[in-house]
């Protein structure tokens, strides 16, 4: 599980369960947990309004996702217990 924060202001955005290795280039909406911001809009912004990504439909799986701008967020690995 990753804790996602805004790179600019360090405000918490959401938890994210990543599937598969590699860089976090997109976040699937169905794997976002406890977001502090809207995930139903076209853009993903932090609570202070910094733009972090834009919504896409990932073609291969037809799943809505946010494509993250490079360097827009910071990721920190957290223990699953955080969600209990």
The residues of the shown chain that bind Zn ion, judged by CB under 5 A, are 6, 8-9, 46, 48, 50
Which CB, 2 or 6, lies closer to Zn ion?
6
Q: Rounded to a whole number, what is the largest CA-CA distance in the chain?
A: 33
CB of 76 to Zn ion, least distance (A): 15
CB of 10 to Zn ion, least distance (A): 7
Q: Is the distance from CB of 11 to CB of 46 less than 8 angstroms?
A: yes
> Of the candidates 4, 2, 15, which has an alpha carbon nearest to the alpha carbon of residue 69?
4
Residues in the chain: 84
Which CB, 6 or 68, lies closer to Zn ion?
6
């Amino acid at each position: 599980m990753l804790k996602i924060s805004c790179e600019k202001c360090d405000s918490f955005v959401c938890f994210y369960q990543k599937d598969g290795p590699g860089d976090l280039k997109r976040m699937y909406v169905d794997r976002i947990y406890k977001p502090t911001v809207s995930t139903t809009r076209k853009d993903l912004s932090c609570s202070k309004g910094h733009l972090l990504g834009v919504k896409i439909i990932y073609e291969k799986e037809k799943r809505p996702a946010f494509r993250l701008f490079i360097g827009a967020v910071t990721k920190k690995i957290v223990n699953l217990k955080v969600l209990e």
